Structure 1
Amino acid sequence: MKKTILLIAILFAVNSFAQSKNFKIKGIVVSEKEKAPIESATIHLEKAKDSAIVSYTITDEKGNFSLEGKSFHNNLKLFISFVGMQSYSKEIILTKSNFNLGTISLKEDDNLLQEVVVKSRAPITIKKDTLEFNVKSFKTKKDANVEDLLKKLPGVEVDAEGKITVNGKEVNKILVNGKPFFGNDPSITTKNLTKDIIEKVQITNTKTKSEGFTGEKGDDNNKTINLTIKKENNKGWFGRVSAGAGTEKRYEAATMVNRFDNETRVSVLASTNNINSPGFSFGEIQKMFGGGGGIGFSSNGAFNVNGRNFGGGQGIVKSKIGGVTYADKYGKGLDVNANYFYSGSSSNNESKNNRENILPDRRYFSNSNSSSEDENDNHSLDLEFDIEIDSTFLINVNPSFVLNDRKGSYNKFEESLDENNVLTNSSNSNTRSESSAKNFSNEIDLTKKIGSKGSFIKASVRNQIDKTNTDDYNNSTIEIFGNNPSTEIRNQFSDIENNLNGLRTRVTYRFPLIAKKLFLDAKYIYQKDERENKESTFDFDTNTQQFSDFNTQLSSDFTFNDITKTPSLAIVYRDKKWRFNFETGFQNRTIENEDKLRPNLNLKRDFNNVNLDAGLRYRFDSKASIYFDYSLENGAPRINQLQPFTDVSNPLNIVTGNPNLKPSNNHRMYVNFNKFNWQKRTGLYLYVSGGLRNNQVVSKSIIGDDLVRNTTYENVDGAYDVWGGGSYSKSVKLDTISNLKIRVGTRLNINKNINFFNDTEYGAKTTEISPNLGLTYEWNKVVSIEPSYTISFSETNYDLSNFQNQKFTRHSFRVRTKTTVPKKLEWRNDIRYNFNPNVVGFNQSSWFWNSTLAYSILNDKASITLKAYDLLNQNTNAQRRATANYIEDSESTVLQQYFMLGFNWKFNSLGQKGKVRDYNMHF
């Protein structure tokens, strides 16, 4: 069936191409008054019959444009528009293929006030640093959501996980009418708002609220999308409800309800399942915490967000979540945003690891098997208040509260064998723990604009209070064999308290040297972190049958202060094409540790360093720009690396700090280039970054014949890393109903680490390159095929001649398809193939196929779905990891095949065009 549809589509495209007419229209656009060329004017061609867009482009820095394409229709109409100018129009009759319109002069529009313009039909409008798309100009299926719309916009890419990029730069924030929606979350917005309610899509550099208030340019490497909603569609309800039950006792249920009432917005979401899914997109959960942190995933579907775990980390995960977000505006100058989120999970996992450890003079092997169970409950509340006192004074207040309770158990058996496979040592441990953590943080930002030349004062204060209490039970046996055999049995209880009081202040004053162009910034940063650690370990007393024997060796009680003071000066220059900044600062850092159990280990160190940062951005024209950044950063060693305390908590790896360590310094450089050709629909993005690390702190281990490690820390020079890559994309409109998008790219990563083993210093350089190719074919809005292929080559070379170099090759192929034939039946497939010929002891290749059928009912407001997970029953997370010190093969519990029947219902009363039909099924 699919082959027949594809063949018909190809034949139709060939026939369409044969009937269409080629055209090329060129000219120069200037201002009538100054006769100066107009850059970034929009030129678009419409069909005279129904005003449908045929093609469009923009002028270059000299005012030139060239509009090329194909059309079935002879009667067309050309429009030229620019902010602040009267529009120009001209009829075009395709009696020939080439048209030279010569010089076209645009008159100033007397009816315009600054940038307030009448509504334009132009597909693209460029306003200073903002790119604006007219939604009506981009055709999608009738019930498309915002994500479907973004895929149609030139230069915008949306990958399988919902990550959005614009000309290679990631979109990290999406706003609705200029305000956050679910904590600025991209995916919850794009998957749940319908295209019909959107009027404009605006893209600009990501800015903090303070940067937006002062008119600064923001982050060159991240983008923000603002969706403007039609006024008649900004009031009402929308949301979804879904539930499903399947084989192997699998289940899922989720709901989200949203209420928009102009400035007031309330959204509620809830979910529960046992299929390693958060119930919504990962971005939805990440942004519920206010953003700004990291999100991590394991190969089997478990994940964590900003350090908060969902599912305990690995294995089969049962999760439940609930959240509410509220946004409103009070009076003229107060905006309020509030997010509450609850996450609960339980997980179990079993894993095994086989590791070959590399020494300068020999090798040895270690094998381990482990199992774990984990339960986690997390409550998070974030508030944000934006108070605009007047047009020159803004206050931002952002308090946050987190409460986390966690308990779990962990069992592990591990053994080490020498190069002749003779058992040398082994350990068998059983641990269980319960912990409770409380966190409060609050950040206050003050921004005051001074005069009209770009001067301002900014001040911020952030405090953080963390309190964690843990009860830990350890029952283990460690055996060492050979000439000096020994056995150590531990049955212990530890009461652990960790507290943090942190304060960070920052003040910036900007003085204009040339009004609105050249500035001098004076900055001062003060940061203090005070940490308290108290760990009381007790051995089990067989006489009293209680944990009452205090173990001094495994206990600790210390207070650690880390104080940093950094005054700095910066020069900042910006105009239409150039942006330049250079900053230098002097960092004074004091590290002080007071050990109450071991006063002889008290420590105080001062580190003085110079920090540098320089950036340059040049905009060639509206199509291309280049960005460069250099920084010199210094890092003090951690307290556990500095303090000469001998840690024997792991008898097989005894660690002692080195008080003579020096601060590390890291030179880093980054360059990127991006270009998008509006006429040819081609995008090019190139980037490279490199870092040189001196005085890097690394572990230095001496391993005895019994394979017990004695570890300390040393400074080394010569470590470096280089990573880079690029991508090229091209969109081809095959005819009026089909198009093809081509993406090709590569990633490069070179990393050299310096290591020690048994007093021998050596370097290990790893080079990895991963070219990739992707295609997207769409026909008549009913067929979509997206194949992609990546091959990764990795090679690790060692400085020592007796070390064997390592090479790895991995292949990954993926194809995603979607068909809506017949009209009410949607069939989606996600097929992945992975091949790793270097994995030892596990499957080298695997196919992974997910499939979903969704049938629309109730006038397309609901659907019945049948989901098949891992149709071929080959899901595995077997993998090989190679480092400078070891090669490891691992495997752990994964979610197995299941089938699930589900029901989905979406509702939307935003305006009169609120009909929704998107099943939002995520693999």
Structure 2
Amino acid sequence: MKYIYLIVTLICFSVLRSNAQATREVRGTIIDSTKLTLPGSNIKLTSEKGDSVIAIADANGKFAFPEVKGKNLTLAITSIGYQAVKKHFNLDNNNNAVVLPPIILQSETKQLNEVTIVGVNPVVFKEDTVQYSVGAYKVRENAPIEDVLKKVPGIDVAKDGTITAEGKQVTKVRVNGKDFFGGDVQSATKNLPADVIENIQVIDDYGDQANLSGVKTGEPNKILNFTIRKDKNYGYFGQATAGDGQDALPKNPGVTNDNRYIGLLNFFKFKGDQQISVLGSINNTNVNTFSFGTPTGGGGGFGGGRGGRGNALRGGGSSTTNANGITDARSIGINFRDQWGKTVSVYGSYSFNDNTVNTNSSTLQTNNFQTPSVSNQISNETDKPQNHRFNFNVEWKPDTVNYLKVTPTFSYSGNDVVSFDNVTSTRGGVTNLAYTSNSISNSSAPNFGFTGLYNHRFNSHGRNLSIDFNANSSKNSQYDNPIYDYTVGSGTAPMNQVINTDNRTNSYGANLSYLEPLSKVSFLEFNYAYNHSYTSSNKETDTLYTADRYHKYDLLSNNYDYTFTTNRIGLNYKYVEKKVNYTLGIGVQPATLSGKSDKTSIPTKINTFNVIPTARFDYTVSRSQSLRFSYNGSSNQPSFDQLQPVTDFSNALYPVQGNPNLNPEFTNRFSLRYNNFSFQTGNIFFSNLSYTSTNDKIVASTITYPVKFTQAVLAANPSLKNLQNTNLTQYLNTSGYYQASAFVVYSKPWSERKYTLILNGNVNYTNNIGFSGSVDSNNVASAIEKNIAKTFTVSPGVRFRVNINDIIDAEANTSYSINKTSNSLNTPLYSANTNIRTLNIGLNGKNYFWKDWTLSYDYTKSLNYGYDPSIGVKNPNLLNAYVERRFLKDHRGTLRFAMNDIFNENTGFSTTTNGSIVTQSNVNRLGRYFLLTFTLRLQKFSGKSTAPPDAGRGFRGPGGGGRRPGGDSDM
């Protein structure tokens, strides 16, 4: 018995001792207010049992303490850029492992000092969003947000202000999730101060309806969203610039150098949900505040068809170094946003510009037809575009389950054009046609539109109904008067035409989506879309009959109406988990294209039926890695010019004739994207692959007519006289068109981002189709031959950045681009094959001296190879520089002396390929001038933040995968 008592005593002692020393594992996750994990957070644990240990959150924001003795725990959490917090937990008496609820950190509202900015995580990957922290890309105070974008890997800012992200052009900009000036890109990037922006979000946007339901199909638009810093959401920022200068061109006797001037005004007021922005400018330095598109010219030239010459370089960019032509610009605009009560959010804008653009260009066009030809054109054109744009958005959220958004829009564009062209065409080395053309054109195009979206969420499990509807009415009235003077060859187009065209298009449509949850992670969506458009056109052409009288030319006049109607029915299955998110679906789309012309009593009616599968797969490897694959299909209706069954002779050398029997195109798109960011090294890697093929691709078929028909042919068919010595462009459907592209960028920073190496590259291959034929002098047509134009472009680049605060912010870069086209049709005399190469070497940056002085420089050396020497190609040295001095309290005043195009070599060159036609162009740009400007900045921010956190918020899609309409964040 003594041994039994001893054994029992020992067991009890062992149990009591083990209980006294029992430990447990404690795990948790650190996230921010948007539910994004925060890697690198520091967590210190203490307890009543003497625990005092520290853990660091991993790449997924997770932490663990494997042996915790106490049950009353205190966790102190710190993370760079976030407010430090302490959390207290009382655990149960058992020894089971504990998973704490996610610990939420709030963003630091104080302005971060220099040390903490270096520690900000620069990149965050979301489902459809890549988010960059502005604090990680340091710029000097008062710099525009465009200066930050130039530093961000994967984003490219061209000299004309155009922005591409991950190889795709950005089409819209938002501020705190709402369109800014109707989404106008450059109005935001060139004017918003970087000081007030917290994050830059690059978003693949599938539209409001997809953001509500979470089922995203189709081709997304690439947009930017800027989120305002919380300490800047109450206050104002104003900036005014005035400048005067002088051209510095070589003086000629009797010529007075032109004066250069600029006046800019920016004003931003933030009051919580209320935002007011005013932008205005007046200048003759090629600075456009708003982007309304390229001016539409008149008159006749290359490219075929009224309203444009086909020059690859035309009209109004917004950079003083890369905009074509010389522009006098005047613009004004206002953007407004507010929250009306708890349920209504409103935002909208009005923009206006009134410009004058003078463009000189030299163009060489090689036409690789059965009877090849080469055409040279020298042009001088003055455009006076005027644009108005208005939009207003009302979002109503009466409760947590209903949402309504309505958007009326109005735009107006008009243009007055005067142009002069000198054209020479050769066949077989012999000049067969030469003429000069004087043309006057004016146009007006008002457009009214309305869109609406209603969403109802039936329950918290994801059952959802949304209806999107739209209506639009647009009119285009145009007057053209091209006058030709033939110096070589017989007249082709009538020598004096007056062309009046009135087009009107009315369209409306609706999209319905119903989402049914099958489980917590799977959903079934039914969708239906109806779209209908009706276009009517009345074209009347008069030709000169006597010195003071015109008469209608029935051969070139026409009334043509057509409608395009589609019905699309689809079914999608969506699966959503933390790391895996995919959509599989199928749709069918019958379409009807019908038209009628007063030239024929037989109407045109074409029915098509397409089966459209849908696939999208998202795999989140970790917070820093993501992979996406997607497929979608879409149809595209022919344009009016491609359908109208009459010949347009407003271009003497290249008349155009539509084909009313065209089918709509159908395009298949595949894409693959992989993103990776290392929290440890800061390395960033992006890659995109895409492939597009188009069935029933609408392509050009060019018929070359003889210099002269025989008298017998003209006697039998007098209308052929106008086709003599021309290349008639017609249209037809074909298969075989496809395009493949790849984009990659790798960024490696080191030494706390003082130095960054960026490697990037684009590759594109296009298999284009064209057709050509010829007619001899006896009106005998040859067989139509098919030409396959294979275009390969590749452009690798290297950038090296140095950013040492208040000392230097500079970048050295180089890129080499190859644009090579080979055609299956070639002749011994003329080859339409091209091999254009361009080497660019650049250095740009800012050096800071004596605290308030800045020296800025932007140098580019371009070496162009492969252009035809007849267009006057050069290898320009482009250097812009300025010296700037800050003064007054808080650096409110800035005096700048700028020198633009110091070597006076600014000229633009390009090459384009369309079927069997290769076009090389040289266009003028603003040359050397000096400018002295004074800028005054006033700002005051209180940092107050009292708006409710969910004010104006819409719905999230199933599983949190969708975004509210307009973006990811609210004020």
Task: Give the TM-score, by structure 1 length.
Answer: 0.79
Kindly indicate whether residue 497 of structure 2 is the aligned counterpart of residue 492 of structure 1: yes
Deviation at 1:674, TM superposition (A): 1.0
Matches of residues 752-791 of structure 1 in structure 2 within 5 Å?
752-758=767-773, 759-791=784-816
Aligned to 2:738: 720
The change in CA–CA distance for 1:453 and 1:396 in structure 2 (over 3 A counts) is same
Aligned to 1:523: 527
Kindly indicate whether residue 227 of structure 2 is the aligned counterpart of residue 227 of structure 1: yes
The change in CA–CA distance for 1:893 and 1:321 in structure 2 (over 3 A counts) is same
Contact 2:658 2:731 (C-alpha < 8 Å) held by counterparts: yes
Aligned to 1:351: 361
Kindly indicate whether residue 878 of structure 2 is the aligned counterpart of residue 848 of structure 1: yes
Aligned to 1:369: 378
- Shifted more, 400-409 versus 80-89: the winner is 80-89
Aligned to 1:426: 434
| Whole-angstrom CA distance in 2 between matches of 1:310 and 1:465 | 36
| Whole-angstrom CA distance in 2 between matches of 1:762 and 1:769 | 23
Deviation at 1:217, TM superposition (A): 7.9
Tell me which amino acid in the other structure corresponds to 1:317. Answer: T
For residues 536-578 of structure 1, give each alpha carbon's deviation from its aligned partner in whole angstroms, at most 9, with x where no partner exists.
Answer: 22233427x233x221112111222111111221122221111
**Alignment RMSD (CA, Å):** 4.1
Tell me which amino acid in the other structure corresponds to 1:491. Answer: N
Aligned to 1:921: none
Kindly indicate whether residue 869 of structure 2 is the aligned counterpart of residue 838 of structure 1: no
Kindly indicate whether residue 337 of structure 2 is the aligned counterpart of residue 332 of structure 1: no
Aligned to 1:303: 316
Identical pairs, percent = 23
Partner secondary structure for residue 474 of structure 2: strand
Aligned to 1:562: 564
Contact 2:654 2:728 (C-alpha < 8 Å) held by counterparts: yes
Deviation at 1:331, TM superposition (A): 0.8
- Shifted more, 653-662 versus 322-331: the winner is 653-662
Partner secondary structure for residue 844 of structure 1: coil
Contact 2:78 2:84 (C-alpha < 8 Å) held by counterparts: no
Kindly indicate whether residue 274 of structure 2 is the aligned counterpart of residue 264 of structure 1: yes
Aligned to 1:59: 58
| Whole-angstrom CA distance in 1 between matches of 2:896 and 2:642 | 55
Deviation at 1:469, TM superposition (A): 2.4
The change in CA–CA distance for 1:437 and 1:657 in structure 2 (over 3 A counts) is closer
Choose the corresponding residue for 1:579, options 568, 581, 585.
581
| Whole-angstrom CA distance in 2 between matches of 1:561 and 1:413 | 39
Structure 2: runs of 5 or more not aligned = 1-22, 44-54, 65-75, 89-96, 110-115, 248-258, 294-309, 708-724, 774-783, 945-971
Matches of residues 458-477 of structure 1 in structure 2 within 5 Å?
458-477=466-485
Q: Decide which structure has the larger Cα Rg and report it.
A: 2
| Whole-angstrom CA distance in 2 between matches of 1:521 and 1:599 | 45
| Whole-angstrom CA distance in 2 between matches of 1:83 and 1:109 | 19
Aligned to 1:829: 857
The change in CA–CA distance for 1:752 and 1:198 in structure 2 (over 3 A counts) is closer
Matches of residues 162-181 of structure 1 in structure 2 within 5 Å?
179=178, 181=180
| Whole-angstrom CA distance in 1 between matches of 2:320 and 2:881 | 25
Tell me which amino acid in the other structure corresponds to 2:767. Answer: K
- Shifted more, 838-847 versus 799-808: the winner is 799-808
Contact 1:172 1:222 (C-alpha < 8 Å) held by counterparts: yes
Contact 1:158 1:164 (C-alpha < 8 Å) held by counterparts: yes
| Whole-angstrom CA distance in 2 between matches of 1:133 and 1:418 | 56
Aligned to 1:239: 238
- Shifted more, 366-375 versus 168-177: the winner is 168-177
The change in CA–CA distance for 1:610 and 1:304 in structure 2 (over 3 A counts) is farther
Aligned to 1:7: none
The change in CA–CA distance for 1:402 and 1:613 in structure 2 (over 3 A counts) is same
Which fold has the larger relative contact order, with Cα–Cα distance below 8 Å and residues 6 or more apart in sequence?
Answer: 2
Deviation at 1:904, TM superposition (A): 0.6
Tell me which amino acid in the other structure corresponds to 2:39. Answer: T
| Whole-angstrom CA distance in 2 between matches of 1:459 and 1:506 | 6
For residues 325-363 of structure 1, give each alpha carbon's deviation from its aligned partner in whole angstroms, at most 9, with x where no partner exists.
Answer: 111111111111121111001122222223332234x53
The change in CA–CA distance for 1:537 and 1:838 in structure 2 (over 3 A counts) is same
| Whole-angstrom CA distance in 2 between matches of 1:186 and 1:404 | 19
Contact 2:27 2:63 (C-alpha < 8 Å) held by counterparts: no
The change in CA–CA distance for 1:594 and 1:400 in structure 2 (over 3 A counts) is same
| Whole-angstrom CA distance in 1 between matches of 2:416 and 2:697 | 36
Aligned to 2:630: 629
The change in CA–CA distance for 1:369 and 1:577 in structure 2 (over 3 A counts) is same
Choose the corresponding residue for 1:893, options 911, 917, 924.
924
Choose the corresponding residue for 2:424, options 415, 431, 434.
415
Matches of residues 435-474 of structure 1 in structure 2 within 5 Å?
435-474=443-482
The change in CA–CA distance for 1:160 and 1:793 in structure 2 (over 3 A counts) is closer
| Whole-angstrom CA distance in 2 between matches of 1:900 and 1:299 | 30
Deviation at 1:850, TM superposition (A): 0.4
Contact 1:300 1:894 (C-alpha < 8 Å) held by counterparts: no
Structure whose residues are more often strand by fraction: 1
Deviation at 1:166, TM superposition (A): 8.0
For residues 844-888 of structure 1, give each alpha carbon's deviation from its aligned partner in whole angstroms, at most 9, with x where no partner exists.
Answer: 311100001111121210111101000111111244445552444
Tell me which amino acid in the other structure corresponds to 1:728. Answer: Y
Tell me which amino acid in the other structure corresponds to 1:43. Answer: G
Aligned to 1:907: 938
Tell me which amino acid in the other structure corresponds to 2:274. Answer: T
Kindly indicate whether residue 816 of structure 2 is the aligned counterpart of residue 798 of structure 1: no
The change in CA–CA distance for 1:606 and 1:876 in structure 2 (over 3 A counts) is same
Contact 2:329 2:354 (C-alpha < 8 Å) held by counterparts: yes
Kindly indicate whether residue 513 of structure 2 is the aligned counterpart of residue 505 of structure 1: no
For residues 884-912 of structure 1, give each alpha carbon's deviation from its aligned partner in whole angstroms, at most 9, with x where no partner exists.
Answer: 52444322332110001110111101228
Deviation at 1:488, TM superposition (A): 6.1
Contact 2:206 2:220 (C-alpha < 8 Å) held by counterparts: no
For residues 58-112 of structure 1, give each alpha carbon's deviation from its aligned partner in whole angstroms, at most 9, with x where no partner exists.
Answer: 62469599xxxxxxxxxxx9957999998799xxxxxxxxxxxxxxx997369x7
The change in CA–CA distance for 1:196 and 1:476 in structure 2 (over 3 A counts) is closer
The change in CA–CA distance for 1:191 and 1:476 in structure 2 (over 3 A counts) is closer
Partner secondary structure for residue 921 of structure 2: strand
Deviation at 1:443, TM superposition (A): 0.5
Deviation at 1:798, TM superposition (A): 3.0
Contact 1:433 1:470 (C-alpha < 8 Å) held by counterparts: yes
Kindly indicate whether residue 552 of structure 2 is the aligned counterpart of residue 550 of structure 1: yes
| Whole-angstrom CA distance in 2 between matches of 1:473 and 1:504 | 37
Deviation at 1:747, TM superposition (A): 0.9
The change in CA–CA distance for 1:603 and 1:165 in structure 2 (over 3 A counts) is closer
Choose the corresponding residue for 2:897, options 853, 863, 866.
866
Kindly indicate whether residue 311 of structure 2 is the aligned counterpart of residue 277 of structure 1: no
Deviation at 1:694, TM superposition (A): 3.5
Deviation at 1:640, TM superposition (A): 4.8
Deviation at 1:407, TM superposition (A): 1.5
| Whole-angstrom CA distance in 2 between matches of 1:774 and 1:375 | 39
Deviation at 1:757, TM superposition (A): 2.0
Contact 1:477 1:489 (C-alpha < 8 Å) held by counterparts: no
Partner secondary structure for residue 461 of structure 2: coil
| Whole-angstrom CA distance in 2 between matches of 1:310 and 1:535 | 39
Partner secondary structure for residue 336 of structure 2: strand
Aligned to 1:691: 692
| Whole-angstrom CA distance in 2 between matches of 1:106 and 1:81 | 26
Deviation at 1:494, TM superposition (A): 2.9
| Whole-angstrom CA distance in 1 between matches of 2:141 and 2:727 | 65
Aligned to 1:406: 415
For residues 358-389 of structure 1, give each alpha carbon's deviation from its aligned partner in whole angstroms, at most 9, with x where no partner exists.
Answer: 234x5322122222122122222111111112
* Number of aligned positions between the proteins: 815
Structure 1: runs of 5 or more not aligned = 1-29, 47-55, 66-76, 90-104, 287-296, 914-923
Tell me which amino acid in the other structure corresponds to 2:422. Answer: F
| Whole-angstrom CA distance in 2 between matches of 1:593 and 1:754 | 26
Tell me which amino acid in the other structure corresponds to 1:831. Answer: Y
